[in-house]
Chain A
């Protein structure tokens, strides 16, 4: 006796076959979500106590990165400037600007500013700025064209696959040390020349691919 209608065969085939698509779709949604800026924070502008413009200070005024991020060559942490650094200039210019009131208040009342962290690695990851600088990795490589950012945001995904894309082949990003803080530097346009330069720098700076877990996880 025929219990199921003939069409059941088709339905069964489609649903078995379809489940593969369904699973694939789910996996795709999952991996897309994982890499989305919702999770990574990439490209998201966050609220800050003062709408500080890197574009104005870096591109407009030509202030070097290290004027504010003083410990970038010596420490794991690049350093966020103390209020005093802001006031070095702003006790003389824009002294009445309303935008800068939080800065003046901080200096006046001796209460630190609280900046929202943009480039935030998980607590089990130990990144060190100084060694990347020493090995000829430019600021722009990870932080993007900060000199064009009116409001600053996280440029890269900062996910492990992104870290590893360079750690597996650091030559692609190496630049002369004197150009590390130059956000507009470009490698030679000729790919052969670019490769030659990279090869020379990798040798000169002893740049190595480090992918042991303890390089970053301690």
Chain B
């Protein structure tokens, strides 16, 4: 591993004490990016002055003199000939019979859904002549409203991943589907006499009504068979609901009604199946405009920084035990739990508590407290009680029957399976949809040992993984974009999944595997899904209530939601094959959801004893460091490990790529004498792992955070990346372990974080301006709602905006369109959907960890994460930075070959075929938004990856500069379409990829010459400002300043918000 080049976080150490001293005593800009910056580490200083790290333009591969001369002469010879190369002859392959509705050259969109942990997100998949290239949100789907999360955006890369499993394997050797079917059915026949004793099924969370009906059928046929569930990232919500309500109800939030929201560690705006919708609903309550100065208020109490916490109005860092104590104290303060015994050691937390409780009580029925679903069940029970006490139940939070079929506690379910396997009671084990317990099972459950005792173990998944290696059969699965299926969203709404492409490698869906084991070996998932719905849809495409009453709970717990299999239903007039059903099915496929399948609210009565019991469980703070496990923000529980887009996507807070790390707060790291990137040993009651240390400002003291999903042993290109947290996780300590011991092992492990890449500022150390001037030039402008109400123009008055004519640049008239963008910093959570969306839309390549360490990540859109305030309790800000498309663009005038030029609509065009790679433009760009292809990053040798590329965007070669184009292909498409139809482009009709994916609608793009467009209105808002606009670049991308709505009762407690170190 390249250990000494281009790393600025790896200087021997950052003297944290000195950093604190400097923050206290010196003046500097308000915002900082990293501890290196504050420490003025030499590496950071160098990065500030160099466009790229040292060795960026050197060839590090060994090369002989002879080889060099050959290449030099060849390149000389070729240099003059490039223009007269002939194009290779190409062929045109038309259809034999052209499909209906397909217009060659134009994409089609299909409504479908993508699932994570069984829960669906409604999407529109773009198909270019039969190959899916891009995922957009489905505006009609309640979980999406048109936006997506990062996982959905990256799904197309998994579809085409050349590392996907491509064939059925029998004991590791290629085999046939037919061979599997006959052997498996033989094994099942042998079990039939025993009632299926010894047959086990292991899946993740299942919401698919069709699959659930099949499982139910299987369990009826084999009454002694058992169905187990394992979901590594399931959280504790199930256990908490059972305790609070006596049954596993699901909580669904309505942020549109909430004026005051408190999160106790939950990252509900960026994590979980409802996050996209929640983020939209929540931020709709805080878009402050000239004529609308209203904001909801968010208090975040959390142990580690999250995207949700970073847009909170108040953020309090508490270690996990303190957070539990806070929850109890809050429950008592609002009258949800008896007694007032809970004390908070920290006077700040105490004051906080009073303010929060007062604010909550002032907004009964319009407030909401959200618990961390990975937190202890006791806290979640308390939070249920708090919401009930505040009258929020049925208003801002509704309870419904669970969305998952037959919900169970996955740890318990898996433990039963492991026990039985090790006792030799399991004969046939079928593992569906990529469940990977050999990697992810709790460390105290000897899953692998038990699996060896299973006679016929069958693994079905997209990839060969740790588990498949132990199995007699591995069945290659079909990707969701290749499958018929169905799934429920977080609110219960059913979507039918439809395939965009034939399975690339002949994979099968879980539905087909189960059908094959139910004597239907040739049934396709299309027939099965249609067959299931044929008796449940009425002519209007609605759920037929007459055939599906819903609300009937069977003994197995299969049927409670609308559309669920309750009992075998006789064919009705709406059965398959009838015209009415065909029309209904088509309509459902077209809209992407089955109407009226949302889970209806049920009344939930909290059990008083449960609250008292939960209150009693909240223990006094334990000494030592509490280790927290959480699903990784980009690769989740490890299932997305082989997706390079997600691996290279900087994590929202740490900006790490390709790795996880043991995260510690600055103070804790100091106390334990651990440094950045130092290898440490984590010892949890004898279970040990090694991990590299990452010092993360914003983390609570005495807290360590380790994300799941890394350290895979068999995950293709991701094998070995990062550190495996699962060996520490036991059935009892799924999400936190108190009192872990950490010690240094010496040695360093380079971590590729992009937090110091593309620096804009002169930097903390060099900012010698007077503070007033420095303030006018801050990259992030912000204020409070009160400030805005008193003087809406406070941002405008602080702007330093040179006159338009104070320039030597040529003047461009923009008579037609003038494209521009507005980014609302007040609602950006940093979730990074936009970054992956841009990558998918614009054929942006991945470069790998070593190249990221050299600052060569290619993302056209980056999200700069800034801290303000002191290093122990900073405020976090996110700033998405695409190309600014300056009207006075510094890049344009320095290009010697006119490869970057101004368009007549104000776009800063990048012409790849002219670029010779001088990189002058990048040097001269004050925003550092240009990306250079140092190597041939785009994969042109793997045939299947060619299918992934967006045909409307050039795939760039080595030696070429590239950057955000404002999705010029979409602009041109919209212009052409409107010209063909002879009308102007309708206002707000055109969206860039980042805008379309943004859950909070922070990004708005459009024609700033036309007042009808939303972007034009936003640019006229008093919060509008330009980044580095004092340079008179006249950027077309502008920002809306970040407003917070602090509680006056907490004034003075907040540091960092208002020039804490000035």
Residues of A at under 8 Å CB distance from B? 30, 33-34, 38-39, 41, 46, 71, 73-77, 79-84, 106-107, 110-117, 120, 122-124, 126, 128, 130-131, 133-135, 206, 210, 212-215, 217-218
Contact of B89 among A33, A116, A122, A206 (CB under 8 A): A116
Which 6 residue pairs of A and B lie closest in terms of their CB atoms, listed nearest first?
Answer: A77-B105, A212-B903, A75-B105, A82-B95, A80-B94, A213-B909
A80 to B91 CA separation, bound complex (whole angstroms) = 11
Interface contacts beyond A76-B976, A131-B976, A215-B972: sample of 16 additional A-B pairs, CB < 8 Å, sorted by A = A33-B84, A39-B84, A41-B87, A71-B104, A75-B103, A75-B105, A76-B105, A81-B94, A82-B96, A116-B89, A116-B92, A123-B955, A212-B903, A213-B901, A213-B903, A217-B913
A116 to B91 CA separation, bound complex (whole angstroms) = 4
A214/B98 in contact, CB under 8 A: no
Please give me the residue from chain A that is nearest to B903 by CB atom.
Answer: A212
A131 to B105 CA separation, bound complex (whole angstroms) = 13
Interface residues as binary, B644-676 with A (CB distance below 8 Å gives 1, 0 otherwise): 000000000000000000000000000000000
Q: Which residues of the other chain, A, contact B106 by a CB distance below 8 angstroms?
A: 71, 74-76
Q: Is there a chain A Cβ closer than 8 Å to B912's Cβ? A: yes
Q: Which residues of the other chain, A, contact B95 by a CB distance below 8 angstroms?
A: 82-84, 112
A83 to B94 CA separation, bound complex (whole angstroms) = 8
Q: Which residues of the other chain, A, contact B103 by a CB distance below 8 angstroms?
A: 71, 74-75, 79
A131 to B973 CA separation, bound complex (whole angstroms) = 10
- 8 inter-chain pairs at a CB distance below 8 angstroms, sorted by A residue, are A39-B86, A76-B106, A114-B93, A116-B92, A122-B913, A214-B972, A215-B972, A218-B953
A134/B979 in contact, CB under 8 A: yes
Q: Which residues of the other chain, B, contact A75 by a CB distance below 8 angstroms?
A: 103-106
CB distance from B1002 to the nearest CB of A (A): 25
A38 to B903 CA separation, bound complex (whole angstroms) = 33
Interface residues as binary, B616-647 with A (CB distance below 8 Å gives 1, 0 otherwise): 00000000000000000000000000000000
B972/A126 in contact, CB under 8 A: yes
CB distance from B340 to the nearest CB of A (A): 66
CB distance from A95 to the nearest CB of B (A): 18
A205 to B90 CA separation, bound complex (whole angstroms) = 34
Contact of B980 among A41, A79, A134, A206 (CB under 8 A): A134
Query: Among B905, B912, B976, which residue has the most Cβ atoms of chain A within 10 A?
Result: B976
CB distance from B954 to the nearest CB of A (A): 4
Q: A34-B83, A71-B105, A124-B954 are in contact. Are A115 and B97 (CB under 8 A)?
A: no
Q: A39-B86, A71-B106, A213-B903 are in contact. Are A115 and B954 (CB under 8 A)?
A: no
Number of chain B residues close to chain A: CB under 8 A: 40
A149 to B103 CA separation, bound complex (whole angstroms) = 27
Please give me the residue from chain B that is nearest to A110 by CB atom.
Answer: B96
What's the count of A-B pairs with C-beta under 8 Å?
Answer: 132
A106 to B97 CA separation, bound complex (whole angstroms) = 10
Q: Which residues of the other chain, B, contact A210 by a CB distance below 8 angstroms?
A: 904
Q: Is there a chain A Cβ closer than 8 Å to B952's Cβ? A: yes
Q: Which residues of the other chain, B, contact A38 by a CB distance below 8 angstroms?
A: 86
Q: Which residues of the other chain, B, contact A213 by a CB distance below 8 angstroms?
A: 901, 903, 909, 911
CB distance from B573 to the nearest CB of A (A): 37
Interface residues as binary, B898-917 with A (CB distance below 8 Å gives 1, 0 otherwise): 00010111010101110000
A114 to B97 CA separation, bound complex (whole angstroms) = 14
Q: Which residues of the other chain, B, contact A217 by a CB distance below 8 angstroms?
A: 909, 911-913, 954
B93/A212 in contact, CB under 8 A: no
Please give me the residue from chain B that is nearest to A125 by CB atom.
Answer: B913
Q: A33-B84, A215-B972, A218-B965 are in contact. Are A77 and B98 (CB under 8 A)?
A: no
A82 to B98 CA separation, bound complex (whole angstroms) = 6
Q: Which residues of the other chain, B, contact A126 by a CB distance below 8 angstroms?
A: 952, 969, 972
Q: A212-B903, A212-B905 are in contact. Are A122 and B87 (CB under 8 A)?
A: yes
Q: Which residues of the other chain, A, contact B90 by a CB distance below 8 angstroms?
A: 116-117, 120
> Which chain B residues (89-117) contact chain A, with CB distance < 8 Å?
89-98, 103-106
Please give me the residue from chain A that is nearest to B815 by CB atom.
Answer: A208
A214/B968 in contact, CB under 8 A: yes
Residues of B at under 8 Å CB distance from A? 83-84, 86-87, 89-98, 103-106, 901, 903-905, 907, 909, 911-913, 952-955, 965, 968-969, 971-972, 976, 979-980, 982
Q: Which residues of the other chain, A, contact B912 by a CB distance below 8 angstroms?
A: 124, 217
A123/B954 in contact, CB under 8 A: yes
B980/A130 in contact, CB under 8 A: yes
A173 to B94 CA separation, bound complex (whole angstroms) = 30
B104/A77 in contact, CB under 8 A: yes
A26 to B106 CA separation, bound complex (whole angstroms) = 45
A218 to B904 CA separation, bound complex (whole angstroms) = 15
Q: Which residues of the other chain, A, contact B87 by a CB distance below 8 angstroms?
A: 41, 120, 122
Please give me the residue from chain B that is nearest to A134 by CB atom.
Answer: B980
A218/B969 in contact, CB under 8 A: yes
B92/A106 in contact, CB under 8 A: no
A83/B89 in contact, CB under 8 A: no
Contact of A114 among B92, B904, B969, B976 (CB under 8 A): B92
A106 to B95 CA separation, bound complex (whole angstroms) = 10
B969/A112 in contact, CB under 8 A: no
Contact of B976 among A46, A71, A128 (CB under 8 A): A128
Q: Which residues of the other chain, B, contact A81 by a CB distance below 8 angstroms?
A: 94
A24 to B952 CA separation, bound complex (whole angstroms) = 40
Q: A75-B105, A112-B96, A122-B87 are in contact. Are A214 and B979 (CB under 8 A)?
A: no
CB distance from B249 to the nearest CB of A (A): 51
A117/B913 in contact, CB under 8 A: no
CB distance from A141 to the nearest CB of B (A): 17
CB distance from A105 to the nearest CB of B (A): 11
Q: Which residues of the other chain, B, contact A115 by a CB distance below 8 angstroms?
A: 91-94
A206 to B84 CA separation, bound complex (whole angstroms) = 36
Query: Among A38, A75, A107, A214, which residue has the most Cβ atoms of chain B within 10 A?
Result: A214
CB distance from A133 to the nearest CB of B (A): 8
B909/A214 in contact, CB under 8 A: yes
A79/B104 in contact, CB under 8 A: yes
B97/A84 in contact, CB under 8 A: yes
CB distance from B819 to the nearest CB of A (A): 10
A177 to B103 CA separation, bound complex (whole angstroms) = 22
CB distance from A168 to the nearest CB of B (A): 13
Please give me the residue from chain B that is nearest to A79 by CB atom.
Answer: B104
A44 to B379 CA separation, bound complex (whole angstroms) = 78
CB distance from B366 to the nearest CB of A (A): 48
Q: Which residues of the other chain, B, contact A206 by a CB distance below 8 angstroms?
A: 979
Please give me the residue from chain A that is nearest to B102 by CB atom.
Answer: A71
Please give me the residue from chain A that is nearest to B966 by CB atom.
Answer: A214
Please give me the residue from chain B that is nearest to A218 by CB atom.
Answer: B969
CB distance from B574 to the nearest CB of A (A): 35
Please give me the residue from chain B that is nearest to A128 by CB atom.
Answer: B976
B903/A82 in contact, CB under 8 A: no
Please give me the residue from chain B that is nearest to A133 by CB atom.
Answer: B980
Q: A115-B92, A217-B912 are in contact. Are A84 and B972 (CB under 8 A)?
A: no
Contact of A131 among B86, B96, B104, B979 (CB under 8 A): B979
Q: Which residues of the other chain, B, contact A128 by a CB distance below 8 angstroms?
A: 972, 976
Q: A75-B104, A114-B92 are in contact. Are A135 and B952 (CB under 8 A)?
A: no
Query: Among A34, A77, A126, which residue has the most Cβ atoms of chain B within 10 A?
Result: A126
Q: A83-B97, A130-B980 are in contact. Are A214 and B965 (CB under 8 A)?
A: yes
A187 to B96 CA separation, bound complex (whole angstroms) = 39
Q: Which residues of the other chain, B, contact A107 by a CB distance below 8 angstroms?
A: 96
CB distance from B818 to the nearest CB of A (A): 13
A212/B904 in contact, CB under 8 A: yes
CB distance from B4 to the nearest CB of A (A): 38
A130/B976 in contact, CB under 8 A: yes
CB distance from B687 to the nearest CB of A (A): 54
B83/A117 in contact, CB under 8 A: no
Query: Among A34, A76, A106, A113, which residue has the most Cβ atoms of chain B within 10 A?
Result: A76
Please give me the residue from chain A that is nearest to B88 by CB atom.
Answer: A120
Q: Which residues of the other chain, B, contact A133 by a CB distance below 8 angstroms?
A: 980
Q: Which residues of the other chain, A, contact B982 by a CB distance below 8 angstroms?
A: 134
Q: Which residues of the other chain, B, contact A112 by a CB distance below 8 angstroms?
A: 93-96
